[in-house]
Amino acid sequence: MSRLQVEHLYKVFGRQPEEAVRRLEAGADRDELREDGVTPAVIDASFEVSEGEVFVVMGLSGSGKSTLLRTLNGLLPPTAGRVLFDGQDLTALNDTELRRVRSHSISMVFQHFALFPHRSVLENAAYGLEVQGVARAERERRAGEALEMTGLGGWEKSWPDQLSGGMQQRVGLARALATEAPVLLMDEAFSALDPLIRREMQQQLVDLQKTLHKTIVFITHDPHEAVRLGNRIAVMRDGRIVQNGTVEELLLQPADDYVASFMEDVDRGRALAGVSAGSAGTPGSTLGKESADA
Amino acid sequence: MPRLQLGDWIDSAVTYLRDHFAWLFDIITNVVSGMYDGLDAVLGAPAPLLLAGILAVVALWLRGPTAAVLTFAGFALIDSIQQWDQAMATLSLVLVATVITIVLAIPLGIWAARNRTVSAVLRPVLDFMQTMPAFVYLIPGIFFFGVGQVPGVISCIVFAIPPGVRMTELGIRQVDGDLIEAAEAFGTTSRNTLLRVQLPLALPTIMAGINQVIMLGLSMVVTAGMVGGGGLGASVFTAISQVNIGLGFEGGISVVILAMYLDRMTSSLGTRVSPLGRRATAALTSVRGASIWNYRPQTGIAVVGVVVLALVAGGMNIFGGSADTNTAAAGKNVGDGRSVNIGYIPWDEGIASSFLWKEALEERGYQPKLSQYDVGALYTGLSAGKLDFQTDAWLPTTHQSYWDKYKDSLDDLGSWYGPTSLELSVPSYVKGVDSLADLKGQGGKFKGRIIGIEPGAGMMKALNDKVLKQYGLEGEYQVTTGSTASMLAQLDRSLKAKEPVVVTLWSPHWAYSKYDLKKLKDPMGAWGAGDGLHTLTHKGFAAKEPQVAQWLKDFKLTEPQLSSLEAAIQDAGQNHEQDGVRAWLKKNPGLIDKIAPVKKPAAAAKG
């Protein structure tokens, strides 16, 4: 079954957002709403992410992909539509229940790392567990394991500002992994790194995913990264998902010129071969037929 | 434009508050003065050098050996210039004000950081508090909180809260939004986001705010000294009122030492207590390497050092014994330990007569408490019943405006010295000017200026309204306004330069014994009859302490008595006024019995 399910989701910033949603549903254009001072960031998004899948949302900046990601864990409440997590409607939860979902079930990794500068590497990695209320010894053990997993064993006592960008993001990843949440939201997690390090991190994520089988929603503006990591890719433009499909579908049957130009640079041979080689999970499979729980 | 009666509204608001919320102000007064008394008792208890040692250990912990040595030297200097007790009083005042300010400012700052409406409302209020001149609320403050330390503490708080609130708000607002989002993304409650992310990261900024709070509080102590706040403020205020530059500097340098100590310690405390600061220190040590100059004791060691010194101090207090004995001779203990509050203006005749009465009342078994004020504050305190009496009322002319305002709540026990006189004076080397009439046509010589004093003084009014008119000096002379201290400073300067100068002066005044001056004659009697020095009490004092009131009523001093008493006090030096009084009493035996006679012991025994 699907872990995450998004149904007709709208997110509108500005005055009278519900009114704007009604106009959008009636077929109004995004630009004409903008003239009235409201910004529709996500328009009528629907998709499903199944267990153990890496779902990539790709688009240019301003296309609404980061906003979409933040509606998935309720950091931004959607204006209309539903987000179902294991069949549970997140938009119907109260603050306490929502916080519980975030601390136990959905972790997040940030573009600019967002490490706490006043905490050591170990304390950063243990942060989510601290929020869960796990006792100190236990959380430090589990945070240590998470750091070990991301290749940062031995750096526990260091401070974030002593680490390079790539190492800092490994701490960010370890912080997200330590809570043992089944779902990871990754917001342009590798975009701030230089290209070599980025490749290294992408490979590490692929390797980790082979053993961890997390359900990952990964935001990026880089088609190479999307192709490397994603089982399926949704392409966003001006707040709408213009195509949602496998790498092959995007390469071979692009929905429009926008998608086609996005995929232009991608090395087709490697991409089509690499899908099955790189990613764990369900290359090209249909949704909801596989489970990585076992 | 129609005249808006804003001032009247404020007047009635103050009266309303005073009449209906007295209980509230009493609670505040009790809490604040309780805190102050407690802290002052603690700081005042150890021997000065021991406390200097304790403060040095704190400096060692926070900043290392250099700071510790400088701290000890600085506080030893304060002790050696005999400003120690005042410095401790000031330190207590500032610390109490700081604690209260922090307790108010940090929650307000947090609230403002989390709520834009609160921030928008607070901003003009804080501007108001920071820029409204302190005297505007200090004098009404006496109505609410009485005289003494409390209005001083309150004025420090009012003045110091704005940076505390602003820096807290700024510190929290400038925490990276990404970090707040990260905390939320991991399910942190907003309270925990505040405690675990925002406050720790804002701490350096908040500590900078607290540092500002302390510095602004210290800058208010002189003002507080003018309304009976005591401490170094009173030292400085006394010194500048008497143009005693040396003493003023001694008080001033003590304020500076306190300020530098508190500034350095609080800014280091910021790095010592905040995780970010510890991180920075660790980085620094690894760069500089370990050296004796970078040595910082562990917190534990520092605490042990402080406790050991404090125990030594406590031990010395216990075994040193206290010298507090009742000075009242047997059979003359009329006062039975009842307290009497005396207020005085730091003018020579006020100091002399007040300390004489302090000595006399102690001899009679009372516990007189002396505190010094600015004139306005003195009258306000007396009329509010926070003070029992003062001996330095220049009536009927000079203090007429105060008397008219407060006479309903005051009793005049009559004049103990007089007549005084008001006059214009010139240095005696100015030839050809002997009377007010001679000033006419000489404007060029004096640059057309008469050096005046405070614009509110009764004598300034008499000068402008009567004297200049009657002698036809209007237009030719401008009366400059300033203060008594600035007038005396100008006089001193002109005398040094042998320049002609004409100043407003009065007798008795020490300037006549210090400088060679000539009082200008007043053949037309424009100044009017001279003032007497009156003793004023709060209404009802005579009923409470009839014996003291009777003594005060009968009190008289002659000119040689007063001038020799003032000279004796001057010789004894600041803070040793009472020693001066005692030395003078030795030369005038029996005077106490004359001014404060006690009935025959037999009669007292029967009664």
**Chain-centroid distance, C-alpha B190:** 45
Which of B172, B186, B199, B201 would you mutate first to test chain A, the one with the most A CBs within 10 A?
B186
3-state secondary structure of B71: helix
The size of the A-B interface in CB pairs under 8 A is: 61
Longest dimension (CA), chain B: 91
Helix axes B22-44, B134-145, angle to 10 degrees: 100
DSSP class of residue B273?
H
A2-105+181-278: which CATH topology? Answer: Rossmann fold (3.40.50)
Each residue's pLDDT tens digit, A192-212: 888 889 999 999 999 999 998
pLDDT at B419: 84
Q: Just give the CATH number of B339-416+534-606.
A: 3.40.190.10
Interchain contact, B279 vs A117, CB within 8 Å: yes
Among chain A residues, the shortest Cα distance to B200 is held by A118
Closest approach of chain A CAs to the CA of B198, in angstroms? 10
Does any CB of chain B come closer than 8 Å to the CB of residue A191? no
Domain with CATH 3.40.190.100 in chain B: 421-519
Query: Cis omega before residue B204 (within 30°)?
Result: no
Give CA–CA dist B361/B124, Å, rounded: 50
Among chain B residues, the shortest Cα distance to A128 is held by B186
The CA-CA-CA angle for residues B221, B224, B227, to 5°, reads 160
The complex scores an ipTM of: 0.86
DSSP class of residue B537?
E
Interchain contact, B186 vs A110, CB within 8 Å: no
Residues of chain A contacting residue B192, judged by C-beta atoms under 8 Å apart: 131
Domain with CATH 1.10.3720.10 in chain B: 7-45+85-258
Say if CB B155 and CB B93 are below 8 A apart: no
**Which class is domain B7-45+85-258?**
mainly alpha
* pLDDT above 90 coverage of chain A, percent: 48
Say if CB B422 and CB B453 are below 8 A apart: no
pLDDT at B388: 92
Contacts of B599 (CB under 8 A, 6+ apart): B607
- Cα distances from B87 to residues A173, B43, B80, B236, B577, in angstroms, run 56, 10, 12, 11, 18
How does A88-123 read in b/e, with b if 16+ C-beta sit within 10 Å? eebeebeeeebbebbbbbbbbbbbbbbbbebbbbbb
pLDDT at B281: 64
Contacts of A110 (CB under 8 A, 6+ apart): A172, A187, A189, B178, B181, B182, B185
Domain boundaries, chain A: 2-105+181-278, 106-180
Interchain contact, A102 vs B275, CB within 8 Å: no
Residues facing B538 on adjacent strands = B410
Give CA–CA dist A138/A149, Å, rounded: 17
Which of A95, A116, A191 would you mutate first to test chain B, the one with the most B CBs within 10 A?
A116
pLDDT at A278: 43
Does any CB of chain B come closer than 8 Å to the CB of residue A112? yes
Does any CB of chain B come closer than 8 Å to the CB of residue A197? no
Interchain contact, B189 vs A99, CB within 8 Å: yes
Neighbours of B505 (CB within 10 A): 25
The amino acid that residue A289 corresponds to is: K
Which of A98, A114, A118 lies at the smallest CB-CB distance from B182?
A114
Helix axes B484-496, B231-241, angle to 10 degrees: 50
Give CA–CA dist A211/B222, Å, rounded: 72
What's phi and psi for B418, nearest 5 deg?
170, 175
Give CA–CA dist A58/B601, Å, rounded: 106
**Segment (H or E) for B467:** none
The amino acid that residue B370 corresponds to is: L
Mean pLDDT of chain A: 86
Say if CB B338 and CB B366 are below 8 A apart: yes
Does any CB of chain A come closer than 8 Å to the CB of residue B197? yes
Say if CB A85 and CB A142 are below 8 A apart: no
Each residue's pLDDT tens digit, A82-114: 999 988 898 889 989 999 999 999 999 999 999
Give CA–CA dist B29/B136, Å, rounded: 19
**Segment (H or E) for B372:** strand B367-372
Q: Which CATH number fits domain B421-519: 3.40.50.720, 3.40.190.100, 3.50.50.60, 3.40.50.1360?
A: 3.40.190.100
Contacts of A93 (CB under 8 A, 6+ apart): A74, A101
Residues facing B410 on adjacent strands = B538
Interchain contact, B181 vs A131, CB within 8 Å: no
Give CA–CA dist B397/A6, Å, rounded: 89
Residues facing B504 on adjacent strands = B424
Say if CB B412 and CB B536 are below 8 A apart: yes
- Nearest Cα neighbor of A80 from A44, A106, A109 is A44
Which parts of B436-544 fold into alpha helices (H)? Answer: 458-462, 468-470, 484-496, 511-514, 541-544
Grouped pLDDT means (10 residues each) for chain B, 607 residues: 84 84 86 88 85 90 90 94 90 92 94 93 92 80 78 87 94 92 91 90 89 89 77 83 82 92 86 70 60 68 78 65 49 79 87 92 90 85 88 86 88 89 91 90 88 81 88 89 82 88 87 86 86 90 90 89 85 83 89 81 41
Give CA–CA dist A253/A276, Å, rounded: 19
Say if CB B389 and CB B552 are below 8 A apart: yes
DSSP B378-443: HHHHHHTTSS-EEEEEEETTTTHHHHHHHGGGEEEEEEEE---EEEEEEETTSTT--BGGGGTT-T
List, as ranges, residues 131-150 from A with C-beta within 8 Å of B: 131-132
Domain with CATH 3.40.190.10 in chain B: 339-416+534-606
DSSP class of residue B197?
I
Query: Cis omega before residue B508 (within 30°)?
Result: yes
Interchain contact, A118 vs B276, CB within 8 Å: yes
How does B273-312 read in b/e, with b if 16+ C-beta sit within 10 Å? ebbbbebeeeeeeeeeeeeeeeebbeeeebeebbeebbee
Give CA–CA dist A141/A129, Å, rounded: 11
Say if CB B317 and CB B45 are below 8 A apart: yes
Say if CB B326 and CB B364 are below 8 A apart: no
DSSP chain A: -EEEEEEEEEEEESSSHHHHHHHHHTT--HHHHHHTT-EEEEEEEEEEEETT-EEEEEE-TTSSHHHHHHHHTTSS--SEEEEEETTEEGGG--HHHHHHHHHHTEEEE-TT----TTS-HHHHHTHHHHHHT--HHHHHHHHHHHHHHTT-TT-TTS-GGGS-HHHHHHHHHHHHHHTT-SEEEEESTTTTS-HHHHHHHHHHHHHHHHHH--EEEEEES-HHHHHHH-SEEEEEETTEEEEEEEHHHHHHS-SSHHHHHHHTTS-HHHHHHHHHHH--S-TTPPTTS-----
Does any CB of chain A come closer than 8 Å to the CB of residue B179? yes
Pairing verdict, β A39-50 and B532-538: unpaired
Interchain contact, B187 vs A159, CB within 8 Å: no
Does any CB of chain A come closer than 8 Å to the CB of residue B281? no
**Its pTM surpasses 0.80:** no
3-state secondary structure of B503: strand
* pLDDT(A276) > 60: no
Give CA–CA dist A32/A284, Å, rounded: 38
The 3 state secondary structure assigned to B303-367 is HHHHHHHHHHHHHHHHHHCCCCCCCCCCCCCCCCCCEEEEEECCCHHHHHHHHHHHHHHHHCCCE
Can you say whether the dihedral through the CA atoms of B190, B193, B199, B202 is positive or negative? negative
Which of B184, B197, B275 lies at the smallest CB-CB distance from A75?
B184
Closest approach of chain B CAs to the CA of A7, in angstroms? 22
For tokens 């309204």, the residue is B465
Closest approach of chain B CAs to the CA of A171, in angstroms? 13
Does any CB of chain A come closer than 8 Å to the CB of residue B195? no
Closest approach of chain B CAs to the CA of A67, in angstroms? 13
- Cα distances from A267 to residues A58, A185, A242, A270, A272, in angstroms, run 17, 27, 22, 6, 9
